[in-house]
Amino acid sequence: MFQIDAATLQQRIHNGETLNLLDVREAIEYHTFNIGGQNMPVGKLKQNINSIFYNKTDEIIVICSAGIRSETALAILAEAGFTHVVNFKGGLKALQKLNR
């Protein structure tokens, strides 16, 4: 499984890279705080897999609050044929901790 840590993700954002982010938290969590990307709660991912904005060959960084739901989402996406999915290890909590 591919993973990215908070420091690396922050550096890539800081460098101005265009990233394909998929936030798999619930809508209320996403609207409370997010770093962009498409919001698709992990519980709705399987039945809405065709609603993903990104191509199956794009690098997609999957985000949640702690990195657990994103691992589940990574497995769902891989099963659906997405080939370059990356789990954000530690999730948004790790990013917030880094910025304290």
pLDDT digits (tens, 9 = 90+) for 52-93: 999 999 999 999 999 999 999 999 999 999 999 999 999 999
Number of folded domains that form the chain: 1
Tokens of 32: 């409370």
- Using CA atoms of 17, 76, 96, 12 in order, give the dihedral in degrees to the nearest 10: -10
- Using CA atoms of 92, 47, 76, 78 in order, give the dihedral in degrees to the nearest 10: -110
pLDDT at 37: 95
Range of the domain at 93: 2-98
Q: Which CATH number belongs to the domain containing residue 42 in this structure?
A: 3.40.250.10
Q: How high does pLDDT run on average in the chain? A: 95
pTM, full prediction:
0.95
> In 79-88, which positions are buried (b, 16+ CB within 10 angstroms) versus exposed (e)?
eeebebbbbb
pLDDT in tens, 37-57: 999 999 999 999 999 999 999
